[in-house]
Amino acid sequence: MSKQIVLLTCMLALLFPLAMAGCCKVEVASLRDELGQTRAERNSLKAQLDRNLAERNDLQAQLETAMRAPKQSDVDDLGLDGSLSEFQKQIEAFVSFREELQRREDELAMLRQAALAEAKTAQERMDQIGTKLQAETERVVLLQGRLKEAQSAIVDLQDKLKD
């Protein structure tokens, strides 16, 4: 009867650390998955930011082209006969185009700021997940140490029982 109680106690001492180690492995795997998802989100945001910056640069180039003083050949190509009202219409068209480009540039700047904020948030989230992963890894190492201690205690008990 006494040997059965000792064996039952030893088996419980072995099973508890093993069960805890299994739980930690599941948690580590879920943290790794979440870290992968966060990295994918960050890469997506970076790609969107790059596209927005490229669009902004294109719009700035168009604005610079529109703001340059027209050459006489450009005026001739546009079919302007030199009347003041036609020049005024062209100027108003260029001004409205410039205002639209400025509005879009401001919008791109806001999108860039939002993307940077999201990237910063994603980085902070990755740091938190990394910290959690490190803590869980340390916990697994600790549990493995306890498991080894329990196993050595069981071996000692078995040796004592054999004697």
What is the full per-residue pLDDT of the chain (163 aa) written as tens digits? 787 787 778 776 766 665 666 666 777 778 788 888 888 888 888 888 888 888 888 888 887 887 775 555 555 555 545 577 788 888 888 888 889 889 988 988 898 898 888 888 888 988 898 898 898 899 889 989 998 998 998 988 888 888 7
Rounded-to-integer distance, Cα 142 and Cα 52, Å: 48
Q: What is the pTM of this model?
A: 0.38
Residue-level pLDDT at 24: 65
CB–CB of 28/136 below 8 Å?
yes
Q: What is the chain's Cα-based Rg? A: 35
3-state helix, strand, coil in the chain (%, to 5): 95, 0, 5
CATH topology for the 2-162 domain: Helix Hairpins (1.10.287)
Residue-level pLDDT at 15: 64
Residue-level pLDDT at 44: 85
**Residue type, position 113, single letter:** Q
Residue-level pLDDT at 125: 87
Residue-level pLDDT at 73: 53
CB–CB of 111/34 below 8 Å?
no
Q: How far is CA 110 from the centre of its chain?
A: 19
Rounded-to-integer distance, Cα 32 and Cα 125, Å: 12
